[in-house]
Structures are given as C-alpha cells and as structure tokens.
C-alpha cells in the first residue's frame, strides 16, 4: 500500500489531522493498535479552547459539539470556605471555553472519517516507523498474522505518551524534560446534575478537588489522591464524602450524589520532548508532551500541534513549500512551553504537596489572595485558560 501521510494513533490528534488532510485531498491512513470501542471507552478531557472548537469546525466535525456542548464564560476558584469567580468572558474581551467531552469529540471525528471514506486500520499490532530519516519512509504493522507495509511521504506520530513514535527516535536526536507530581487525580463520572453551572477548582487542606461536567445531567468530579491509592479502596460513598469535605459548605450541601459509572486514577506529570520533527517523522499531541490536567491543556495542545502540522503539510503539497514543515517543531514548542508553564503554575497553586513547608503554604495562600484581588493577575489566568493564540 502507498499513501501520502501515515498517521500512527486514532486519538484526537490522529483523527483531527486525518480529517483536515482528507478534506484537503491529501491521502492518509490511520493505524491504531486498539479497537475503536476501546478508544471510545476512555474518559479524558472535558474543556475545549475556542481555537480547538474552530479546528473541529474546520474539520466539519463540530455539529454535535455546538448542539450538545456547554459554552462557559467563567469558572470558580474555591478556598478558605469561599469561592471567587474568574470571569473569562469579561477578562478576555469576549472569549469563553466549550465543555464537551473528549470521548464525544473522538466519536464525532470517527464518524466524519467514515463519512468521508478515510482509511483507519484498528488492532494493528507491532506498528513500526521506518527510514523516516531518508526520503522514502514506510510503516509496517501486523494484522491477522500478516506483516503489512505502507510506503509514504511523511509519518505523523499521534500515538500518545506510551506510543512507538517517540521511542523510535535515536536517543542522541531527542531531549526530554519531565516533572512528576507527588499525587494523582481520582476521577468519577456519574449521571447526576453538576453541583454548579460552571467548573469549580478547589484548594483545601485535605487536597485539591475539581467539579466538572459532561452535560447538565452528567457530572465529572476529581479529587487529589496519593499515588499509592487503589481504586478498590474508594467506594462511591467515600468519594462523595471526601469531595464534599473539600468544598465550601454552600457548594457541599448542593452536591447531588449517585452511583458512578466510571472511576479511575490518573498520575500527573509535565513532559516535553524536543524537537518534534525528525525529517519525515513528526511527533504530535501526547506523543510529544504531557501536562497535568489542572489547566485543561492536554487535548487543546494536541489541537494546536495538528494545526501547525496540517498547515505545513498543506504548503508542502499545494504550494511546493517546506517552510511550514521546517517551522513545525519551533512553532509548536513555543506554544507548548507556555501551556506547560501555565499547567504547572495552576497545579502548584491548587494542590497540597506532601512535603510542603510552612513558607510554601503561605506563598500559595498569598498567590490565591493576590489572584482574586488583582484584575491583572486574574486576566493573566483567564487568557491562559481560554488558550493563547496560535
């Protein structure tokens, strides 16, 4: 088989890139090692920046998002028994975010790919990118006991943090930066109305909590937990009790509890690999970077990577120019590092660290006090949360 671009990974990065390429008449094939059903069973992000919404519209995959998604003009920071609303719309001159689950977005992109005849090969084993340092790269994979080969012009590594693409780059050609946080997030999904019409990020002596949602009838809650916590030790009742203890009383009293239908623990890390291009191989999304979900940046950074790479590939094929491809890594990394900083800053401000010194705790309290009394500080938070420009 031959195509112009092989995309490894059928998550948001791979599907969004694949749709933009298909709509531009650039032939591409997506390979994923798991089934569509497995991918759609993962519960992840929930907040989309306006630039991500625009990209989904560009890919003609935004119809259900606009019909079912929830535009949010602000969110609350809760601490010391009170909460303080961050007026995103007012502080950013009219920008907002869209609350719409990654699972739904992924499903919408999969449907668009089927409608437009895009080729996706699932349960592809042992996917390996080859000769991406030369002019004739190819990818091999195994399916039904046969090893297949796809010759191509370019390979997009959209295969996430644990994928094969980044690991295929020779050690001397790539450098990574990492910070592991000493806690994780225990998250649940429950078919109960959210406690508030907007998100609540809570800083409490017992730990961080986040009240989010997927719709007006489906809630997504998280509490900070120790890295050695086990899911089986957390009954729904224990989760609800702990969540309410971390919220101001007027919110805690209004939490609607109910049975969870998804419960998981995710570790938190900051990670960036540089560069993101290796001649004919490009790293995209979580394959190149990971942020703690506190700032809701992970999925949105994947979208901006896709934007930069798509523009570069479009110029290559349509205008015979490689300027965009050459600039991909530096352009993407400039935006990535600002989002990595913001996600680290918000995580540091909102979580309780096990080894926090009294001094560190006073600094955290001063940060929150300054943030909620300074328009300049709130504006800085708001412009990062809605997403810095591409």
Give catalytic residue positions. Answer: 72, 201, 293, 297, 385
Using CB under 6 A, which of the segments 161-169, 248-256, 309-317, 378-386 binds ligand FAS? Answer: 161-169
313-321, Cβ contacts within 8 angstroms, sequence gap of 24 or more: 313/5, 313/21, 313/26, 313/154, 314/24, 314/26, 317/4, 317/24, 317/26, 318/24
Options 51, 92, 196, 294; binder of ligand PHB; rule CB under 6 A: 294
How far is residue 293 from each of residues 87, 176, 206, measured CA to CA in Å? 20, 19, 19
238: which 2 tokens?
A: 């224990």
The answer to the question of residue 296 lying near ligand PHB (CB under 6 A) is yes
The answer to the question of residue 45 lying near ligand PHB (CB under 6 A) is yes
CA distance 35 to 46: 22
CA-atom Rg of the chain in angstroms:
21
CA distance 103 to 90: 30
Beta pairing partners, 389: none
The answer to the question of residue 293 lying near ligand PHB (CB under 6 A) is yes
Name the residue nearer to ligand PHB (CB basis): 88 or 199: 199
Using CB under 6 A, which of the segments 39-47, 117-125, 172-180, 190-198 binds ligand PHB? Answer: 39-47
Tell me the closest approach of the beta carbon of residue 224 to ligand FAS, in angstroms. 13
Tell me the closest approach of the beta carbon of residue 177 to ligand FAS, in angstroms. 17
Tell me the closest approach of the beta carbon of residue 280 to ligand PHB, in angstroms. 34
Sign of the torsion angle spanned by Cα atoms 111, 116, 117, 119: negative
The answer to the question of residue 69 lying near ligand FAS (CB under 6 A) is no
Options 129, 137, 207, 293; binder of ligand FAS; rule CB under 6 A: 293
Options 10, 120, 168, 212; binder of ligand PHB; rule CB under 6 A: 212
* Chain centroid, CA 136 distance in Å: 32
**Residue 76 interacting partner from ligand PHB, ligand FAS, none (CB closer than 5 to 8 Å by kind):** none
Residue with tokens 């990595």: 340
Name the residue nearer to ligand PHB (CB basis): 48 or 156: 48
**Residue 220 interacting partner from ligand FAS, ligand PHB, none (CB closer than 5 to 8 Å by kind):** ligand PHB
The answer to the question of residue 48 lying near ligand FAS (CB under 6 A) is no
Residue with tokens 């910070």: 179
Tell me the closest approach of the beta carbon of residue 253 to ligand FAS, in angstroms. 26
**Residue 286 interacting partner from ligand PHB, ligand FAS, none (CB closer than 5 to 8 Å by kind):** ligand FAS
* Chain centroid, CA 50 distance in Å: 14
CA distance 347 to 222: 13
Do strands 219-225 and 175-190 pair parallel, antiparallel, or not at all (unpaired)? antiparallel
**Residue 196 interacting partner from ligand PHB, ligand FAS, none (CB closer than 5 to 8 Å by kind):** none
The answer to the question of residue 220 lying near ligand PHB (CB under 6 A) is yes
Using CB under 6 A, which of the segments 136-144, 173-181, 189-197, 288-296 binds ligand PHB? Answer: 288-296
CA distance 383 to 152: 40
**Residue 166 interacting partner from ligand PHB, ligand FAS, none (CB closer than 5 to 8 Å by kind):** none
183: which 2 tokens?
A: 């806690």
> Angle 12-23/50-58 helices, nearest 10 degrees?
40
**Residue 272 interacting partner from ligand FAS, ligand PHB, none (CB closer than 5 to 8 Å by kind):** none
Q: How many Cβ atoms are within 10 Å of 255's Cβ, its own excluded?
A: 18
Instruction: Check if the beta carbon of residue 9 is closer than 8 Å to that of residue 157.
Output: yes
Contact code string over 311-350 relative to ligand PHB, x by CB under 6 A: ----------------------------------------
The answer to the question of residue 312 lying near ligand FAS (CB under 6 A) is no
**Helices within the chain (DSSP H only):** 12-23, 36-40, 50-58, 63-68, 88-91, 102-115, 236-245, 249-252, 298-318, 323-350, 358-371, 375-385
**Residue 12 interacting partner from ligand FAS, ligand PHB, none (CB closer than 5 to 8 Å by kind):** ligand FAS
Q: Given the rule CB under 6 A, which residues bind ligand FAS?
A: 8-14, 31-34, 39, 44-46, 102, 127, 158-160, 162-164, 266, 285-286, 293, 296-299, 302
Which residues contact ligand PHB by CB under 6 A? 45-47, 199, 210, 212, 220, 293-294, 296
């Amino acid at each position: 088989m031959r195509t112009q671009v092989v995309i490894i990974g059928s998550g948001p990065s791979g599907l969004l890139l694949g749709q933009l390429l298909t709509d531009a008449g650039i032939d591409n094939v997506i390979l994923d090692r798991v089934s569509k059903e497995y991918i759609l069973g993962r519960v992840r992000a929930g907040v989309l920046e306006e630039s991500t919404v625009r990209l989904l519209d560009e890919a003609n995959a935004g119809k259900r998002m606009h019909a079912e998604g929830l535009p949010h003009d602000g969110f609350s920071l809760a601490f010391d028994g009170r909460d303080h609303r961050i007026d995103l719309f007012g502080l950013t001159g009219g920008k907002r975010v869209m609350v719409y689950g990654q699972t739904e977005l992924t499903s919408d992109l999969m449907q668009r790919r089927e409608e437009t005849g895009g080729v996706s090969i699932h349960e592809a084993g042992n996917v390996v990118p080859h000769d991406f340092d030369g002019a004739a790269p190819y990818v091999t994979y195994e399916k039904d006991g046969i090893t297949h080969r796809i010759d191509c012009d370019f390979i997009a590594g959209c295969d996430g943090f644990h994928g094969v693409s980044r690991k295929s780059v020779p050690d001397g050609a790539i450098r990574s930066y990492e910070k592991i946080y000493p806690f994780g997030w225990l998250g649940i999904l429950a078919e109960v109305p959210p406690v508030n019409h907007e998100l609540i990020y809570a800083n409490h002596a017992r730990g961080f909590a986040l009240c989010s949602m997927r719709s007006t009838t489906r809630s997504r809650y998280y509490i900070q937990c120790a890295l050695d916590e086990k899911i089986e030790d957390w009954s729904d009742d224990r989760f609800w009790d702990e969540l309410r203890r971390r919220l101001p009383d007027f919110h805690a009293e209004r939490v609607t509890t109910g049975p969870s239908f998804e419960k998981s623990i995710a570790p938190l890390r900051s990670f960036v690999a540089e560069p993101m291009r290796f001649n004919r191989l490009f790293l995209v999304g979580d394959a190149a970077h990971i942020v703690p979900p506190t700032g809701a940046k992970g999925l949105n950074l994947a979208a901006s990577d896709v934007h930069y790479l798509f523009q570069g590939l479009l110029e290559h094929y349509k205008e015979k120019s490689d300027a965009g491809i050459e600039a991909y890594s530096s352009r993407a990394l400039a935006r990535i590092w600002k989002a990595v900083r913001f996600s680290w800053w918000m995580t540091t401000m909102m979580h309780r660290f096990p080894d926090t010194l009294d001094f560190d705790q006073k600094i955290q309290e001063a940060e929150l006090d300054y943030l909620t009394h300074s328009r300049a500080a709130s504006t800085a938070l708001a412009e990062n949360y809605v997403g810095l420009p591409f």
